[in-house]
């Protein structure tokens, strides 16, 4: 009787075994993430369990501290990303095991190697010999029966290759030379598919190789912005993000040729085998002792390295450089976006938004304290119309009629001229205490033409919608900027070259964290803002707004349960982040979650009052100890948070609002001179420095070397987008519109080397950014620059060149 199992049963047992693999590696995933984060495995298990149940990172970070051991949102985001990677790795591991098992080639040793693989690259290296592929020369040679010849010469180099090949000549193999070619193809494939060897060579190439950039013949003129990379090389492992992305863009635009030099310090290959070839030979016991086959085997190693292995590994390390650069650039973008979203709001004050332009006029929109549009207009103070006085009259009338307190001026074309108009308006109306602020209009045009803007402002022209957005983003930058796709806000580094999925996932996470950190007014929030709240989808957000419009303002958080499709899980996730001011339940105006209301009332009773009288009463709360409220249902972290929130209910984590004052008479690059001290606003931060708007329609660069007397590893340690700073002009290159600035106000200004400009030649070219011209003003003061020795003359320009600072645009 046959003992062979039916195919259906064998396949089922295979699937069962795959399931066991998944379960067994799950524990390894928890352990690995715990080691990487430096936390306990139990914390990771708890966090993963909550994520798998549909909880969001903001909810877990704030309301499940006992479960996770107080993991914060940054740790949870890292955990979430690593969990995604390791689960994808595990899924791929399972697929590979099943594929090799179906081929009947899975051994215990091979399965152990696959299970031990810690990266996707290692896993693919192991799988390569078993991966279904088109018929290769090696496969054809095997089919022709040449594998014994290849292995025989490898085992016994004492054989003469020509003589050893003669017995393999047949109809498919016409002569000994063809037999040896086939045997070589088999050995080349063997070398190239040895997982341990390839892994070792890849790491050697990464640590020793260089990325080399050369200009393509004839592309010098059209590719002048990439001139720093016309003849450039740098170690693969040390290429900074902005330089790598600049070179890859130059290659994409057919200006540069990029290659990998595997051994820049070695002599020409003709002088002998490279270290890489020696490593291949050593792996397979190939030593040149003068035996008949030694030369043929050495030539086979060299052929394998030059024609296949180095080609594949060069692609691998290029991809590694790109991925590393993209990860760094995404981190820069995410950090800048977070700072911009959490910039200080001007608050609920009547605001006039001015969207500047020359020929088509300045578009005007007035919004009330709630952001509702109450008036619009268009004025033509600039050339060619030149209706200055008429424009002032229109604006003054709007200020009086609507009690305007703030004037928000978009920072695009004609912004400085419009700023002058606003300045004169302020002087003409001293009794009104008007404040004018230049704000970033980045993304305003995207919002104006969006479907949401059409629904939100259906009766307004697209150009007027931009003025409305400018006014509202001064009142509350977070509430307005969430209406715009994060990528369109323009605070990134080479953002158009980054992986779409990874960038969107990172930026969406930033927006979600920022919105939930601040909290959302349930009765005034737009649907785009609500859709960023924990647990609320786009559809649910629209349902909430529709319910609010049909039934009036929400009086209590519990009323959310009557919104269509908003179930108990969504309520649990979102309730704590939504605020209701002046409602039926005082705690609804705080970040205390409804599930903690009993605790809050217990605390109020212990303080000798009720919740309403206790809110904001720090004196009554200070005598209470969190430990006295610990019981089986609630832990110390939650109690501490509730006490803090009762003391300062609904507190806004964003800084207080401040404005920058631009220097009168400094309106264009030509007005600048080395040595000037100016106030400006940080518009963008990159890996190599920060860009500052000083009011001349072109941002200047503070290189990382000019930020502090102390060593700075990350420019965001010193400044962030929106900060108001005082800078000193080091260098102005008028023809190229480059401005070099320093935060170290006692730095010496380099002496002039040529008429019409200062030395150094490095100002603001905004490499790899799309932050554009003058960005968001009116933000809080940054940390002061630290002291230390002054930079020598020309040091800034030299540092810029070393940093790859160039004009690539975006």
DSSP 542-585: HHHHHHHHHH-S-SSGGGGGGSTT--HHHHHHHGGGEE-TTSS-
At 492 the pLDDT is 67
Calculate mean pLDDT across residues 635-653. Answer: 90
- CATH 3.30.420.40 is the classification of domain 669-802: no
Taking residues 108-130, what's their average pLDDT?
94
How many angstroms separate the CA atoms of 809 and 168, rounded?
A: 62
Nearest one of 676, 806, 800 to 736, comparing CA atoms: 806
Cβ-proximal residues to 393 (8 Å cutoff; 6+ apart), any chain? none
What is the model's pLDDT at position 573? 97
pLDDT attached to residue 15: 38
Q: Which two tokens stand for residue 444?
A: 């305003």
Q: What pLDDT does 523 receive?
A: 95
Among 288-297, 565-574, 789-798, which is the least confidently predicted range? 789-798
Domains in the chain: boundaries? 7-130, 139-328, 669-802
Q: What is the mean pLDDT of residues 562-569?
A: 96
Give the mean pLDDT of 4-25. Answer: 41
d(CA 766, CA 494): 10
Stretch among 9-18, 142-151, 258-267, 561-570 having the lowest mean pLDDT: 9-18
Question: Using one digit for the tens of pLDDT, what is the confidence trace for 426-444?
Answer: 999 999 889 998 888 888 8
Q: What is the rounded CA–CA span in Å between residue 714 and residue 704? A: 8
Instruction: Say if residues 764 and 787 touch (Cβ distance below 8 Å).
Output: no
Give the chain's radius of gyration (CA, Å): 33
- The rounded distance, in Å, linking the Cα atoms of 401 and 396 is 9
Tokens standing for residue 427? 């002087």
In order of 209, 738, 750, the CA distances from 733 in angstroms are 36, 5, 13
Q: How many CB atoms lie within 10 A of CB 620?
A: 18
Find out whether 731 and 763 touch, Cβ atoms under 8 Å. yes
Give yes or no for a cis peptide into 392 (omega within 30° of 0). Answer: no
Judged against a pLDDT cut of 80, whether residue 611 lies above it is answered with yes
Q: How far apart are CA 804 and CA 596, in angstroms?
A: 54
Average the pLDDT over each of 232-246, 496-510, 768-782 and give the range with the smallest value.
768-782
The mean predicted confidence, pLDDT, of the chain is: 86
SS3 682: strand
Instruction: Give me the architecture of the 139-328 domain, per CATH.
Output: Orthogonal Bundle (1.10)
The pLDDT tens digits of the residues spanning 331-345 come to: 888 888 888 899 889
Q: Mean pLDDT across the stretch 619-636?
A: 86
Residue 25's pLDDT band, with cuts at 50, 70 and 90, is low
Instruction: Let me know the angle formed at the C-alpha of 396 by 393 and 401, rounded to the nearest 5 degrees.
Output: 125
Q: Judge whether residue 2 has pLDDT over 50.
A: no
3-state SS, 486-511, equals HHHHCCCECHHHCCHHHHHHHHHHHH
pLDDT of residue 115: 92
**CATH assignment of 7-130, given 1.10.10.650, 2.40.50.1020, 3.40.640.10, 2.30.30.830?**
1.10.10.650
CA distance 676 to 747: 12
Lookup result for tokens 């290759």: 161
Q: What is the average pLDDT across 506-523?
A: 94
The pLDDT-based confidence of 270 (bands split at 50, 70, 90) is: low
pLDDT of residue 493: 65
Strand partners, 214: 231, 257
Specify whether the CB–CB gap between 69 and 50 falls below 8 A. Answer: no
Q: If DSSP codes are grouped into helix, strand and coil, which group holds residue 405?
A: coil
CA distance 516 to 354: 30
- C-alpha separations of 286 from 150, 277, 299, 494 in Å: 13, 10, 11, 47
Distance of alpha carbon 48 from alpha carbon 29, whole angstroms: 10
- Per the CB < 8 A criterion, the answer to whether 504 and 487 are in contact is yes
Q: What pLDDT does residue 688 have?
A: 86
- Residue 664 binned pLDDT confidence (cut-offs 50, 70, 90): confident
Which one is predicted more confidently, 800 or 48?
Answer: 48
Are 248 and 322 in contact, with CB atoms under 8 Å apart? yes
pLDDT for residue 13 is more than 60: no
Measured at the CA of 31, the angle between CA 30 and CA 32, to 5 degrees, comes to 95
Q: Give the H/E segment covering residue 739.
A: strand 738-742
Give pLDDT tens digits for 350-382: 999 999 999 999 999 999 998 999 999 999 999
Instruction: Give the range among 431-445, 607-621, 767-781 with minimum mean pLDDT.
Output: 767-781
Q: From CA 772, how far away is CA 413, in angstroms rounded? A: 11
Q: Is the full-model pTM beyond 0.85?
A: no
In this prediction, residue 128 carries a pLDDT of: 94
- The Cα-based distances of 202 to 110, 129, 808 in angstroms read 21, 17, 31
């Amino acid at each position: 009787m046959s003992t062979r199992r039916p195919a259906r049963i064998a396949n089922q047992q295979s699937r069962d075994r795959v399931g066991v693999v998944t379960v067994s590696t799950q524990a390894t995933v928890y352990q690995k993430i715990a080691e990487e984060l430096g936390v306990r495995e139990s914390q990771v298990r708890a966090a993963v369990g909550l994520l798998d149940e549909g909880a969001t990172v903001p909810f877990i970070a704030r309301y499940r501290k006992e479960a996770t051991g107080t993991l914060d949102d940054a740790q949870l985001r890292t955990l979430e990303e690593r969990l995604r990677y390791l689960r994808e790795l595990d899924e791929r591991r399972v697929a590979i095991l099943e594929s090799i098992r179906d081929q009947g080639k899975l051994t215990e040793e091979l399965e152990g190697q696959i299970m031990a693989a810690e990266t996707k690259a290692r896993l693919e290296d192991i799988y390569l010999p078993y991966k279904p592929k088109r018929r290769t020369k090696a496969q054809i040679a095997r089919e022709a029966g040449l594998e014994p010849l290849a292995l025989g010469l490898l085992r016994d180099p004492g054989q003469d290759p020509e003589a050893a090949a003669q017995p393999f000549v047949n109809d498919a193999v016409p002569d000994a030379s063809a037999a040896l070619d086939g045997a070589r193809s088999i050995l080349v494939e063997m070398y190239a598919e040895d997982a341990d060897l390839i892994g070792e060579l890849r790491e050697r190439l990464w640590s020793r190789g260089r990325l080399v950039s050369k200009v393509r013949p004839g592309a010098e003129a059209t590719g002048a912005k990439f001139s720093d990379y016309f003849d450039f090389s740098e170690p693969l492992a040390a290429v900074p993000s902005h330089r790598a992305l600049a070179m890859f863009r130059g290659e994409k635009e057919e200006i540069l040729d990029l290659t990998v030099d595997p051994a820049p310090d070695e002599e020409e290959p003709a002088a002998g085998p490279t270290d890489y070839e020696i490593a291949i030979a050593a792996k397979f016991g190939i030593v040149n002792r003068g035996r008949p086959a030694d030369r043929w085997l050495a030539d086979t190693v060299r052929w394998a390295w030059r024609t296949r292995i180095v080609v594949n590994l060069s692609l691998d390390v290029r991809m590694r450089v790109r991925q590393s650069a993209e990860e760094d650039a995404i981190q820069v973008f995410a950090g800048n976006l977070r700072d911009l979203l959490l910039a200080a709001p001007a608050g609920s004050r009547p605001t006039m938004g001015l969207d500047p332009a020359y020929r088509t006029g300045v578009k005007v929109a007035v919004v009330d304290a709630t952001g509702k549009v109450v008036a619009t207009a268009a004025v033509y103070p600039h050339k060619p119309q030149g209706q200055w006085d008429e424009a002032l009259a229109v604006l003054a009338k709007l200020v009086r009629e609507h009690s305007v307190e703030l004037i928000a001026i978009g920072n695009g074309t004609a912004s400085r001229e419009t700023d002058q108009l606003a300045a004169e308006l302020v002087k003409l109306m001293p009794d009104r205490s008007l404040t004018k602020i230049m704000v970033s209009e980045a993304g305003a045009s995207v919002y104006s033409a969006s479907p949401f803007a059409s629904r939100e402002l259906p009766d307004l022209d697209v150009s007027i919608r931009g003025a409305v957005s400018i006014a509202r983003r001064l009142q509350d930058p977070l509430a307005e900027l969430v209406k715009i796709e994060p990528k369109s806000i323009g605070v990134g580094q080479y953002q158009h070259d980054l992986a779409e999925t990874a960038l969107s996932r990172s930026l969406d996470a930033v927006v979600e964290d920022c919105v939930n950190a601040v909290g959302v007014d349930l009765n005034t929030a737009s649907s785009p803002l609500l859709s960023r709240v924990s647990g609320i989808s786009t559809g649910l957000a629209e349902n909430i707004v529709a319910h609010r419009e049909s039934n009036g303002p929400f009086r209590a958080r519990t009323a959310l349960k009557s919104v269509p499709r908003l179930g108990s899980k969504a309520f649990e996730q979102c309730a704590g982040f939504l605020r209701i001011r002046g409602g039926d339940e005082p705690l609804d105006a705080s970040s205390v979650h409804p599930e903690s209301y009993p605790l809050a009332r217990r605390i109020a009773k212990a303080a000798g009052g009720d919740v309403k009288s206790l809110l904001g009463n720090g004196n009554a709360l200070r005598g209470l100890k969190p430990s006295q409220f610990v019981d089986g249902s609630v832990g110390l972290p939650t109690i501490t948070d509730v006490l803090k929130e009762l003391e300062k209910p609904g507190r806004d984590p964003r800084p207080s609002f401040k404005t920058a004052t631009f220097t009168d008479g400094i309106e264009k690059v030509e007005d600048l001179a080395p040595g000037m001290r100016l106030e400006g606003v940080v518009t963008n931060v990159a890996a190599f420095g920060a860009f500052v708007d000083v009011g001349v329609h072109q941002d200047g660069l503070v290189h990382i070397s000019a930020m502090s007397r102390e060593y700075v590893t990350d420019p965001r340690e010193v400044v962030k987008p929106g900060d108001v700073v005082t800078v000193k002009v080091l260098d102005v290159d008028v023809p190229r519109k480059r401005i070099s600035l320093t935060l170290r106000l006692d730095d010496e200004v380099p002496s002039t080397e040529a008429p019409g400009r200062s030395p150094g030649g490095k100002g603001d070219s905004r490499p790899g950014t799309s932050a554009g011209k003058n960005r968001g003003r009116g933000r809080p003061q940054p940390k002061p620059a630290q002291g230390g020795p002054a930079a020598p003359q020309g040091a800034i320009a030299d540092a810029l060149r070393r940093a790859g600072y160039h004009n690539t645009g975006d």
